[in-house]
């Protein structure tokens, strides 16, 4: 009856406040740390937009193979339509070369078939295909931020 | 001329050498035992060391001065690095040209850049040799377990500091090493891809963008790497170095055989003389090497023309070789297990009485030799198999990636090392012998993977016996 602040487990007011303040220190430190990391994560990317125009469909007659080096994509055109395949190797990010049977990475020898599927080498995934749309001004737009299913072609 | 003031002045002028020395050293000439002790205690730079030094510490064949060499190399990189900062400009447009100016225009710039590079890379070698010395003399055992951990931290920092410096010239080597490294950082993506959860939880991609400050290496990346190289990592390194030295003293100085006679000498002059000798040898070595061998500088970074082969700096090529089997295993799992294994050694082997003797005697030497031979043969066989026959993807092109993540040469090797070490513990009944086996195999794998990645991998990461056989392109 003397100690009105304590219960059977022996939690005293002093003990409770001590534990609570200790956890306050821990939690605020962790929050600060999280804030430091969040601040270090860039919110502004000084890069070109991942959506870009590639010109009008007439510039890509059937049979075209165009390597857009600075955009890191290949643009192909065949009877079924246009499609954009990433030229960035999925292994370590080197730029792949187009060869007659598909693609070949010069860094670690990954090989991909003409659809960008891995044939051999260390690449863990297929070369992604990107969405192509038509802008209102008639130009084609590739969105390298949007992967689509391999084989999806853009009908002109 | 009987002027007391002028007499005093002349007297002081005559004695200026002696009085300055006394004010500097705060003590008399260190010729007696008492003054030799006082000079060590009373000097800021000397008080870090004990007044007396055990004779075992001074035996060249016990330490080979490897820790000291690492420290002096760090000193050279610091001085030359500060000088390089006068001219270096960390922007993608100017970095390459400023390094070129340092190399070809600035007075002694080429020598300073070479010294910075070679002393820094020398640190990797000497820190690892120092670690091997500490390990094989059993110096990690109680009460020095924690300092072993600090040492591993210092080794890691040495690696990362070297790596961040490699990016700064912004030439083709820097850029493509950056590509390789950022993708090693991303390597957990292989696992999330195989599990099909990348669109929801892309931790690899997040880590990569956090490091690069973008999706591809660019100007945000260069300033980040520069900040790491000249600010964050050096601060961490010097803090941990301070702890490392402090713990050496607190843990009772350098390790020595338990039963040996405790004979010590005054640190002034014996210890200081030995240290000065190592310093001079180091300086001479670095200067001569830097005078004759130039740090490489290729063409300016060009994101459109990959180097072939694109390689990380040599000290990371063992990692890159493993990453070529499986990004997740080689880039995350294997190195994490290696560091964890090294860190746990003093806590899993708590046998007493092994400190101070190389290899803890004859049995340890035999264990080390056996592990060296077995490790070298098995790893060479494994590497030869992979090089000759390839792996799952070459046999079954449609094999699920998760299978390669789970079963690949790097993983098999790590499992072999673990099993071998456990077998040694079982056979000898000694955890110290198991530790020797584990550490020896760690050294074997570092050397062999690095050798394969550096010397035997050519364009397209294909196998060549010699660089001269690489195809021309």
State the number of CA atoms in the 13 A half-sphere of A138 facing the CB: 4
The rounded radius of gyration (Å) of the Cα atoms in chain A is 28
| Calpha distance A145→A45 (Å, rounded) | 14
Residue B205, pLDDT above cutoff 60: yes
How far does the CA of residue B236 sit from the closest CA of chain A (Å)? Answer: 16
- Nearest CB to B179 within list A93, A124, A125: A93
pLDDT band of B246, cuts 50, 70, 90 = very high
- Nearest CB to A42 within list B213, B310, B323: B213
Predicted confidence at residue A7, as pLDDT, reads 56
- Nearest CB to A47 within list B180, B214, B309: B214
Predicted confidence at residue B202, as pLDDT, reads 85
Residue A5, pLDDT above cutoff 60: no
Decide if A47 touches B, using CB distance below 8 A.
yes
Q: Encode pLDDT of B399-422 as tens digits.
A: 888 888 889 999 999 999 999 999
- The arithmetic mean of pLDDT across residues B214-236, rounded, is 94
Decide if B274 touches A, using CB distance below 8 A.
no
Q: Encode pLDDT of B101-142 as tens digits.
A: 999 999 999 999 999 999 999 999 999 999 999 999 999 998
Whether residue A94 and residue B462 make contact (CB cut-off 8 A), yes or no, is no
Residue A156, pLDDT above cutoff 80: no
Query: B59-307 sits in which CATH class?
Result: mainly alpha
How far does the CA of residue B241 sit from the closest CA of chain A (Å)? Answer: 24
Angle, in degrees to the nearest 10, between helices B334-348 and B145-167: 160
CB contact set of A78 (below 8 Å; sequence gap of 6+): A62, A63, A153
**Residues of chain A found within 8 Å of residue B211, distances taken between Cβ atoms:** none
- Nearest CB to B460 within list A50, A106, A124: A106
Predicted confidence at residue B193, as pLDDT, reads 79
| Calpha distance B159→B319 (Å, rounded) | 12
Query: Minimal Cα distance from A69: which residue of B?
Result: B304
Query: Minimal Cα distance from A67: which residue of B?
Result: B304
Residues facing residue A130 across a β-bridge: A84, A147
Which of A17-21, B95-99, B282-286, B329-333 is predicted with the least confidence, judged by mean pLDDT? B329-333
CATH annotation of A51-148: 2.102.10.10
Predicted confidence at residue B1, as pLDDT, reads 57
Mean of all residue pLDDT scores within chain B: 91
Most A CBs within 10 A among B173, B175, B177, B179, hence the mutation to make, goes to B179
B423, B434 Cβ separation under 8 angstroms: no
Predicted confidence at residue B191, as pLDDT, reads 87
Most B CBs within 10 A among A92, A99, A104, A144, hence the mutation to make, goes to A92
Predicted confidence at residue B73, as pLDDT, reads 98
Smallest CA-to-CA distance from B22 within B33, B34, B45, B38 is with: B38
- Nearest CB to B215 within list A41, A47, A104: A47
| Calpha distance B63→B134 (Å, rounded) | 8
Percent of chain B's residues with pLDDT above 90: 65
Reduced to 3 states (helix: H, G, I; strand: E, B; else coil), residue B52 is strand
Q: Encode pLDDT of B74-94 as tens digits.
A: 999 999 999 999 999 999 999
Across B190-245, where does the E strand assignment appear?
none
Smallest CA-to-CA distance from A91 within A115, A75, A70, A109 is with: A109
Reduced to 3 states (helix: H, G, I; strand: E, B; else coil), residue B174 is helix
CB < 8 Å from A in window 203-242 of B: 209-210, 213-216, 218-220
Which of B1-10, B63-72, B172-181 is predicted with the least confidence, judged by mean pLDDT? B1-10
Smallest CA-to-CA distance from B39 within B272, B243, B245 is with: B272
Predicted confidence at residue A64, as pLDDT, reads 84
Of A117 and A23, the one with more pLDDT: A23
Most confident of A66-75, B134-143, B300-309: B134-143
| Calpha distance B5→B10 (Å, rounded) | 9
Most A CBs within 10 A among B91, B213, B316, B331, hence the mutation to make, goes to B213
| DSSP secondary structure, B286-328, as one string | HHHHHHHSPPP--SBP-TTS--SS----GGGHHHHHHHTT-HH
Place of tokens 């080597």: B173
CB contact set of B320 (below 8 Å; sequence gap of 6+): B180, B184, B311, B312, B330, B453
Decide if A45 touches B, using CB distance below 8 A.
yes
B470, B457 Cβ separation under 8 angstroms: no
pLDDT band of B96, cuts 50, 70, 90 = very high
Residue range(s) in chain B whose domain bears CATH number 1.20.810.10? 59-307
- The arithmetic mean of pLDDT across residues B425-430, rounded, is 94
pLDDT band of A59, cuts 50, 70, 90 = confident
- The arithmetic mean of pLDDT across residues B386-397, rounded, is 86
**Residues of chain A found within 8 Å of residue B325, distances taken between Cβ atoms:** 122
pLDDT band of B304, cuts 50, 70, 90 = confident
Predicted confidence at residue A146, as pLDDT, reads 81
Residue B346, pLDDT above cutoff 90: yes
Domain spans of chain A, in order of start: 1-46, 51-148
Predicted confidence at residue B148, as pLDDT, reads 97
Whether residue B193 and residue A124 make contact (CB cut-off 8 A), yes or no, is yes
CB < 8 Å from A in window 122-181 of B: 176, 179-180
């Amino acid at each position: 009856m003397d100690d009105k602040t304590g219960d059977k487990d022996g939690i005293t007011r002093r003990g409770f406040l001590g534990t609570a303040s200790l956890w306050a220190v821990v939690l605020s430190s962790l929050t600060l740390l999280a804030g430091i990391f969040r601040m270090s994560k860039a919110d502004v990317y000084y890069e070109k937009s991942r959506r870009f125009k590639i010109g009008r469909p007439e510039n890509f007659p059937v049979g075209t193979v165009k390597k857009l080096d600075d955009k890191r994509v290949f643009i192909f055109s065949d009877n079924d339509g246009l499609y954009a395949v990433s030229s960035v190797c999925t292994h370590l990010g080197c730029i792949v070369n187009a060869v007659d049977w598909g693609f070949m990475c010069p860094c670690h020898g990954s090989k991909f078939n003409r659809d960008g599927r891995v044939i051999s080498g260390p690449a863990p995934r297929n070369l992604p295909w990107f969405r192509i749309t038509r802008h209102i001004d008639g130009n084609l737009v590739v969105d390298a931020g949007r992967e689509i299913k391999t084989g999806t072609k853009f009908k002109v | 001329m009987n002027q007391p003031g002028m007499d005093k002045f002349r007297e002081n002028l005559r004695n200026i050498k002696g009085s300055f020395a006394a004010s500097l050293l705060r003590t008399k000439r260190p010729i007696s035992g008492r003054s030799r002790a006082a000079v060590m205690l009373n000097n800021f730079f000397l008080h870090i060391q004990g007044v007396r030094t055990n004779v075992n510490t001074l035996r060249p064949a016990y330490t080979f001065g490897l820790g000291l060499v690492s420290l002096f190399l760090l000193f050279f990189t610091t001085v030359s690095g500060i000088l390089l900062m006068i001219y270096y400009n960390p922007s993608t447009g100017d970095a390459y040209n400023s390094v070129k100016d340092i190399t070809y225009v600035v007075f002694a710039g080429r020598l300073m850049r070479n010294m910075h590079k070679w002393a820094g890379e020398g640190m990797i070698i000497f820190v690892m040799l120092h670690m091997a010395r500490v390990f094989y003399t059993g110096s990690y055992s109680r009460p020095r377990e924690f300092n072993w951990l600090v040492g591993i931290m210092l080794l890691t920092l040495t690696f990362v500091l070297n790596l961040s410096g490699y990016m700064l010239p912004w030439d083709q080597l820097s850029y493509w090493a950056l590509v390789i490294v950022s993708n090693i950082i991303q390597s957990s993506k292989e696992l999330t891809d195989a599990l099909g959860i990348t669109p929801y939880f892309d931790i690899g991609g997040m880590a990569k963008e956090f490091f690069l400050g973008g999706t591809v290496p660019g100007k945000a990346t260069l300033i980040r790497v520069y900040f790491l190289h000249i600010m964050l990592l050096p601060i961490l390194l010097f803090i941990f170095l301070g702890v490392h030295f402090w713990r050496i003293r607190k843990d009772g100085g350098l390790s020595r055989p338990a039963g040996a006679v405790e004979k010590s000498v005054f640190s002034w002059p014996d210890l200081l003389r030995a240290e000065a000798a190592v310093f001079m040898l180091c300086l001479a070595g670095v200067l001569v090497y830097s005078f004759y061998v130039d740090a490489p500088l290729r063409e300016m970074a060009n994101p459109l023309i990959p180097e072939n082969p694109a390689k990380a700096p040599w000290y990371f090529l063992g990692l890159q070789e493993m990453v070529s089997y499986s990004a997740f295993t080689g880039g995350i799992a294997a190195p994490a297990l290696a560091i964890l294994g090294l860190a746990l050694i003093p806590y899993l082997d708590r046998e007493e009485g092994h400190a101070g003797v190389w290899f803890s005697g004859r049995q340890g030497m035999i264990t080390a030799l056996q592990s060296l031979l077995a490790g070298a043969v098995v790893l060479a066989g494994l590497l030869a198999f992979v090089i000759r026959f390839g792996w799952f993807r070459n046999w079954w092109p449609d094999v699920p990636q998760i299978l390669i993540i789970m079963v690949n040469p790097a993983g098999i090797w790590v499992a072999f090392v673990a099993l071998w070490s456990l077998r040694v513990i079982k056979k000898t009944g000694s955890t110290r012998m198991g530790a020797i086996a584990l550490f020896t195999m760690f050294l074997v794998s570092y050397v062999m993977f690095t050798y394969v990645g550096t010397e035997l991998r050519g364009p397209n990461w294909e196998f060549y016996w010699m660089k001269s056989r690489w195809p021309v392109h």
